[in-house]
């Protein structure tokens, strides 16, 4: 088990939580087969340590047992077959392993450029799958930090999008490589008004923006004039929370000329940026 995961697991075990007996190697292989993926190393290590924990813990999410994870996979995929548009979480490579027992889940990407990243699958009609944490260990640290603060899961600190410059250049380079991979998928999408394609295109753009390192925020300007207003709005939001002052002229244009949603996000971003001068 990697050092960082081992360290957070020790802290996790100090919580008043009941842990189930670990999965055997054969059971972990069966889990991976059922979920139609290769389990990332961190997930493999967690299930080798314990097969989920008791629900209703002091933490916002609890790790599902293998049985629960497989049932969620089957039930949600069957449900997705009747969704219009489909949610595509399985196609995108997300697998849920944590639940808040209130129809919200945390998942890890098991394949593709974002393999190892953690996202949220919130059943609020959006099913947002933007990467939020670089690793399972970072997600678990965030869970532990949020518990004594009484935070809602939507208020937990996240790795993405970065709000301040990082001095870990290797990590920034890795994030940028992931962002560029998602950008390539975005650029490869056909330029049509097809509803399904638009949703997939917006997903790729949203992931690319979330992964973009703080110091490369200027590369987000291109999204402010995208034909998709949801992409424009997301770009405004990220530039705002980053207090990216150089974006002010472009945000001012969006605040005047954009549709209502974009005007609102751009105006809010400008307010956040102006707060740094107070």
CA distances from 160 to 98, 166, 178 (A): 19, 12, 12
Can you tell me the distance from the alpha carbon of 181 to that of 195, in angstroms, rounded to the nearest whole number? Answer: 23
pLDDT single digits (tens) 9-61: 999 888 888 899 999 999 999 999 999 999 999 999 999 999 999 866 678 99
What is the rounded (10 degree) CA torsion for 85, 102, 107, 151?
A: 120
pLDDT single digits (tens) 125-159: 555 799 999 999 999 999 999 988 888 888 899 99
Q: Which position has the token pair 């960082």?
A: 4
Can you tell me the distance from the alpha carbon of 192 to that of 145, in angstroms, rounded to the nearest whole number? Answer: 44
| Domains, the chain | 3-155 (3.40.1580.10), 169-277 (no CATH)
Instruction: Give 10-13's long-range contacts (Cβ < 8 A, gap of 24+).
Output: 11/141, 11/144, 12/140, 12/143, 12/144
Q: Is the pTM of this model over 0.95?
A: no
Can you tell me the distance from the alpha carbon of 195 to that of 63, in angstroms, rounded to the nearest whole number? Answer: 35
CA distances from 164 to 91, 176, 181, 209 (A): 32, 15, 22, 15
Q: Mean pLDDT across the stretch 229-238?
A: 96
């Amino acid at each position: 088990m990697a050092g960082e995961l081992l360290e957070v697991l020790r802290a996790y075990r100090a919580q008043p939580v009941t842990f189930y007996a670990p999965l055997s190697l054969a059971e972990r292989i069966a889990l991976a087969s059922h979920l139609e993926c290769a389990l990332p190393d961190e997930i493999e290590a967690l299930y080798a340590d314990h097969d989920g924990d008791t629900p209703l813990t002091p933490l916002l999410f609890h790790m599902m047992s293998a049985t629960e994870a497989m049932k969620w996979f089957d039930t949600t995929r069957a449900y997705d077959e009747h969704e219009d548009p489909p949610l595509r979480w399985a196609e995108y490579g997300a697998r849920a392993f944590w639940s808040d027992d209130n129809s919200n889940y945390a998942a890890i990407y098991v394949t593709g450029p974002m393999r190892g990243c953690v996202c949220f699958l919130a059943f609020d009609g959006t099913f947002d799958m933007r990467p939020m944490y670089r690793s399972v260990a970072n997600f678990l640290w965030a869970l532990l930090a949020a518990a004594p603060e009484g935070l809602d899961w939507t208020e937990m600190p996240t790795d993405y999008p970065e709000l301040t410059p990082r001095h870990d250049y290797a990590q920034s380079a890795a994030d940028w490589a992931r962002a560029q991979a998602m950008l390539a998928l975005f650029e490869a999408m056909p330029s049509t008004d097809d509803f399904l394609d638009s949703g997939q295109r917006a997903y790729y753009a949203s992931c690319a923006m979330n992964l973009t390192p703080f110091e490369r925020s200027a590369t987000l300007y291109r999204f402010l004039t995208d034909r998709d207003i949801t992409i424009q709005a997301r770009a405004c939001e990220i530039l705002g929370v980053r207090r990216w002052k150089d974006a002010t002229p472009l945000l001012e244009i969006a605040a005047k000329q954009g549709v209502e949603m974009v005007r609102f996000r751009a105006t809010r971003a400008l307010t956040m940026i102006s707060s740094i001068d107070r």
